[in-house]
Structure 1
């Protein structure tokens, strides 16, 4: 048989006794401790006043010093900085680079207006430049080989859209060359004084010579990125190696400044990414491998 409830027991007691029991219960309930709310992330009134007037630790909770000790981020200590460097070595390296070049920026001498541009890539390839300049046939041979590599890039990008129905590399190349032409018109850098031209180079005779940035390098990066997406990693590595040799040849022949080559790599990656986002926004269904379907898919996107 279950025990009687507390209400039933109280109702069966005499009136005075029942009142005493209920009063004891009320007193016990009122004696319970009420825990304060957890502290917020903002300083209290005393700390805020100290912080405002620069109290320097005279508030009831230590003022600015005490508040900073309680609220400072984890990385604002020697152990915290060591932990960040251990978990994010690349970010730590770039942070050191920022500090380094902040000092370089205020101490490096500028090139005088009448002096030729200073290019460390030109200095590194000075001996190779002298050898090519002394052998015109070698200059023409290297230019012809470079033109063949450019044709290989173009052939792969055209095959990707016409033969395999994948327009991303073609869209990236169109974006890249359009941007390169606009930048080449907007800021025309002087042709290097030691430039070694060749009729075998592309474009033939360097009719439209834009220096910034390197379309040769950017086109090779776009093609190599497409190969990686398709699992053609050996071919991508081959294109990367040929792109590196192409960069050395362009520096030795003074066909590009070093910054043109570096930005060409970044431009290839950037426009490949933008082309992917552009095509993903269209969200069209997969296309077949026939050329007519490729054209329809490209126009619909």
Structure 2
């Protein structure tokens, strides 16, 4: 006779098989009684693991979010070593970041210039002594104006040489864009001529006719010419033009021919329109960066090629 333990195990196994057959009708199809509603609610099978599974289902969203957050790694620059590495590798970016924080505070605390007061220009303040010296010597004012006009003529001559003699139209295209934009802005917003302005008949334009202040075409034209010289490999000549452009800016401030912002935007405008002219010519399949020929017809083909 088998032991009682074996008898109990066999009875339990037979009971489970019988219950499974009853639930599936013996052919693997669930019994209709298993889908009945109890108390108006459909019965759902319990999740694996009993109470632990139910608890995990209740807190599933919180748990998954927590695991996702713990699995995220903080960026390297958030650490002290990361910040130190940025300062070493990108000092210019760090400087501009500090400048952003500085001027965010300045713009909310700086007093504005009253409507009846003259404009505040730090460049005018820095060149006050030079302005007084030029104002007391009209001949010096005319001499400096004449020298500045010669420099403007040098810029124009170089740009024309680049397109007519060397077949490189990029500088000419940039100058056309720049002066057109400058004229439109000068008409749109006409800034008052400084009270201390020192005009001269030797200045360009002659007699200061149609004198637009914003932005400086003198400075922008020199930048365009210098950038073209660098592309052509004339780096020494480009540095010379940069130096003359700096002296030109000092002279314009001392004679009150431009505000400081006119000169700063003139530099940016020269670089911007040089870049835009390059993109335009690239779109037209024109090589504006190398010397492609010495005949005038080559630039015409470059300008009108599609």
User: Is the 2:227–2:238 contact (alpha carbons within 8 Å) kept by the matching residues of 1?
Assistant: yes
Distance in 2 between residues matched to 1:90 and 1:168, nearest whole Å? 30
Tell whether the 8 Å contact from 1:122 to 1:252 is kept in structure 2 after alignment.
yes
- The answer to whether the Cα contact below 8 Å between 2:166 and 2:292 also exists between their aligned partners in 1 is no
Q: In the alignment, does 2:32 pair up with 1:46?
A: no
Query: Do the aligned partners of residues 227 and 284 (structure 1) sit closer, same or farther apart at CA in structure 2, a change above 3 Å counting?
Result: closer
Which one is further off, 137-146 or 281-290? 281-290
Superposed CA RMSD in Å reads 1.8
CA–CA distance in structure 2, aligned partners of residues 201 and 79 of structure 1: 56
Instruction: Determine if contact 2:216/2:266 at 8 Å carries over to the other structure.
Output: yes
Aligned partner of 2:193 in structure 1 is 191
Q: 1:180 aligns with which of 174, 179, 182?
A: 182
Aligned residues: 244
**Post-superposition shift, 1:152?**
0.1
Q: What residue number does 2:278 align with?
A: 276
User: Which structure would you say has the larger Rg?
Assistant: 2
Task: Write the deviation string for residues 44-103 of structure 1: whole angstroms up to 9, x where unpaired.
Answer: 832576xxxxxxxxx6x5xxxx93784332212222222222221111111011011111
The aligned counterpart of 2:115 is 113
Report if the CA contact (8 A) 2:286-2:303 is conserved.
no
1:109-137 residue CA offsets vs partner (Å, 9 max, x unmatched): 11011100000000000000000000111
- Pick 1 or 2: higher relative contact order, CA cutoff 8 A, min separation 6: 2
Q: Deviation of residue 289 (structure 1)?
A: 2.0
Q: TM-score, normalised by structure 1?
A: 0.77
SS at match of 1:157: helix
Matched residue, 2:15: none
Q: 1:25 maps to what in 2?
A: none
Cα distance in 2 between the residues matched to 1:184 and 1:250: 17
Residues 47 and 142 of structure 1, relative CA distance in 2, 3 Å threshold:
farther
The CA distance in 2 between the partners of 1:68 and 1:199, in whole Å, is 74
Cα 1:224/1:284, change in 2 over 3 Å: closer
Give the direction of change, closer, same or farther, for the CA distance of 1:253–1:45 in structure 2 (3 Å limit).
same
State the distance in 2 between where 1:288 and 1:234 align.
Answer: 22
Q: List gaps (5 residues or longer) in structure 2.
A: 1-59
The answer for the alignment partner of 2:294 in structure 1 is 289
